[in-house]
Amino acid sequence: KSLCVIGLGYIGLPTAAIFASAGWDVIGVDINPMIVEKLNQGKIHIEETGLEDAVQKAVAQGKLRAQLEPTNADCFIIAVPTPINSDNIANIDYVLQATKAILPFIKQDNVIIIESTIPPRTIDDKIVPIFQEEGWRVGENIYLAYCPERVLPGRILTELVENSRIVGGVNEHSAQKAADVYKTFVKGTILTTTTVNAEMVKLMENTYRDVNIALVNELVKICDHLHIDALEVIKFANFHPRVNLHLPGPGVGGHCIAVDPYFIIEKAPNQSVLISNAREINNSMPSFVIEKVKKLVPNVNTKIAVFGLSYKGNNDDVRESPAVSVLKLLQLEGYHIAVYDPHVNQNQIETKLTSFEEAITDAECILVLTDHNEFKDISENRIIHLMKKPVIFDTRNCIEVKDNRISYFNYGKLP
């Protein structure tokens, strides 16, 4: 069986590799020549555990190759990004363009699957008509389904196989056909439903997480006001069997959780009160961090070492990263900033990245914004000897400081 995957990003590329290793003949399509060229050499352009090996193997076995244009296949999977515009409205142009791009290659009995995150009703109202205009009877001579991805960056290859999968078909036959496609490698349960249900399920999963993170971020502000250790409160509350408070931090980033709730708000603004507030709370966290940094380091003519720019630990992705927002605010305040991030690629950001030692030399504060593993066992000795003042403000609560010559602050012990 052959598969054409449109979009070789964080989802499309691992998906293509997994299908290839399950025996499919996979063509990956991307408009970026660098990505296509790299893939054909068995190399990848993103950081993801185990992915380079999987791609290398699939390419060497002739099961996976990439090109700039789509081609004929039994099945098509669209996994292109859906960014949001500045007014927080979903931009589904790439999904529409990708759908139109595969039109000339569609044959009878093809299965077409959209994996990109989309606002509710997009498949029924926007995608189905594109095929109908070409004369296809969607659900009868071609099959269309919405199958959102649910994998966690850092664990994508494992979760692609292990997680259960929601398959929303335009009709039952389409759902069944798409479910058969995933059955070739998915070990989790494959649940079939309608397209609108699947669209809403996907958005609600990420919204659930956003709202929960907002709750603990708000708790941090409340505890700050009342002089209570928020981290202790979270730790003890989570001993209750039905409580699962999330981790507070400098805000919520990434291309999913910080974005998807807006896809719901856009369609039902008056009803999405809690969801809108949660977005606002999480978006306010970079300013909260700055407020605290100003207390720790009142003189802006001072060097601060920022640790971590990606949106979460052990990841190279800076999209919607709260750390980037904090960095910009620090620069606006006038601080001298040095950034250390062992995962982020220099070509993704404007600010120059430095080494650990360069970043801390003469600095008066280390501001930890991402929980990379490298930060968990940084040398306390180097900190004491190289920094002007050995102070750490750890917004991720990821560093355990043993030497009491270092002043350590986190969301439980705020400046």
Query: Hey, which residues are catalytic here?
Result: 202, 256
Question: Looking only at residues 239 through 258 of this chain, which bind ligand SAJ when binding is defined by CB under 6 A?
Answer: 246-247, 249, 252-254, 256-257
Burial class of residue 196 in the structure, from the number of CB atoms within 10 Å of its CB (0-12 exposed, 13-18 middle, 19+ buried): middle
Selected from 28, 139, 153, 261, the binder of ligand SAJ by CB under 6 A is 153
Rg of the chain over Cα atoms, rounded to whole angstroms, equals 23
What sign does the CA torsion over 118, 128, 198, 51 have?
negative
Question: Looking only at residues 302 through 331 of this chain, which bind ligand SAJ when binding is defined by CB under 6 A?
Answer: 311-312
Taking the complex as a whole, the smallest distance from the CB of residue 17 to ligand SAJ amounts, in Å, to 17
Question: Looking only at residues 4 through 23 of this chain, which bind ligand SAJ when binding is defined by CB under 6 A?
Answer: none
Taking the complex as a whole, the smallest distance from the CB of residue 357 to ligand SAJ amounts, in Å, to 26
Taking the complex as a whole, the smallest distance from the CB of residue 396 to ligand SAJ amounts, in Å, to 8
Which amino acid is present at 149? E
Q: Which is nearer to ligand SAJ, 118 or 337 (CB)?
A: 118
Question: Looking only at residues 339 through 378 of this chain, which bind ligand SAJ when binding is defined by CB under 6 A?
Answer: none
What distance in Å separates the CA atoms of residue 161 and residue 149, rounded to the nearest whole number? 11
Distances, alpha carbon 44 to alpha carbons 22, 72, 114, 143, 319, in Å: 19, 24, 23, 31, 18
What mask of x and - would describe binding to ligand SAJ in positions 107 to 146, judged by CB under 6 A?
A: ----------------------------------------
What distance in Å separates the CA atoms of residue 111 and residue 147, rounded to the nearest whole number? 12
Taking the complex as a whole, the smallest distance from the CB of residue 206 to ligand SAJ amounts, in Å, to 5
User: Of the ranges 63-71, 105-113, 150-158, 406-414, which one interacts with ligand SAJ (CB under 6 A)?
Assistant: 150-158
What tokens appear for 129 in the block? 């008509």
Taking the complex as a whole, the smallest distance from the CB of residue 62 to ligand SAJ amounts, in Å, to 30
Distances, alpha carbon 319 to alpha carbons 14, 195, 276, 354, in Å: 19, 28, 20, 20
Selected from 149, 199, 341, 394, the binder of ligand SAJ by CB under 6 A is 149
Taking the complex as a whole, the smallest distance from the CB of residue 148 to ligand SAJ amounts, in Å, to 8
Question: Looking only at residues 255 through 274 of this chain, which bind ligand SAJ when binding is defined by CB under 6 A?
Answer: 256-257
In 3-state terms, the chain is what percent helix, strand and coil (to 5)?
A: 40, 15, 45
Strands 143-146 and 165-169, sheet pairing: antiparallel
Selected from 20, 54, 92, 151, the binder of ligand SAJ by CB under 6 A is 151
Q: Which is nearer to ligand SAJ, 18 or 138 (CB)?
A: 18
User: 126: which DSSP letter?
Assistant: I
What distance in Å separates the CA atoms of residue 140 and residue 119, rounded to the nearest whole number? 25
Q: Which is nearer to ligand SAJ, 205 or 229 (CB)?
A: 205
Q: Which is nearer to ligand SAJ, 170 or 257 (CB)?
A: 257
# residues near ligand SAJ by CB under 6 A = 19
250 contacts 289 by C-beta, under 8 angstroms: yes
Taking the complex as a whole, the smallest distance from the CB of residue 151 to ligand SAJ amounts, in Å, to 5
Taking the complex as a whole, the smallest distance from the CB of residue 53 to ligand SAJ amounts, in Å, to 21
Number of helical (H) and strand (E) elements in the chain, helices listed first: 16, 13
349 contacts 318 by C-beta, under 8 angstroms: yes
Residues 6+ apart with CB under 8 A from 389: 364, 365, 407
Q: Which residue pairs, CB below 8 angstroms and at least 24 apart, start in 203-207? A: 203/117, 203/119, 203/120, 203/260, 203/261, 203/263, 203/264, 204/264, 205/150, 206/117, 206/256, 206/257, 206/260, 206/261, 207/260, 207/261, 207/264, 207/275, 207/278
Q: Which is nearer to ligand SAJ, 206 or 272 (CB)?
A: 206
Contact between 152 and ligand SAJ by CB under 6 A: the answer reads yes
Contact between 79 and ligand SAJ by CB under 6 A: the answer reads no
Q: Which is nearer to ligand SAJ, 260 or 364 (CB)?
A: 260
**Residue 330 dihedral angles phi and psi, to the nearest 5°:** -60, -40
User: Of the ranges 151-159, 193-201, 218-226, 290-298, which one interacts with ligand SAJ (CB under 6 A)?
Assistant: 151-159
Q: Which is nearer to ligand SAJ, 45 or 150 (CB)?
A: 150
What mask of x and - would describe binding to ligand SAJ in positions 204 to 243, judged by CB under 6 A?
A: -xx--x---x------------------------------
Q: What is the CA 148 to chain-centroid distance, rounded?
A: 14
Q: Which residues bind ligand SAJ (CB under 6 A)?
A: 149-153, 205-206, 209, 213, 246-247, 249, 252-254, 256-257, 311-312
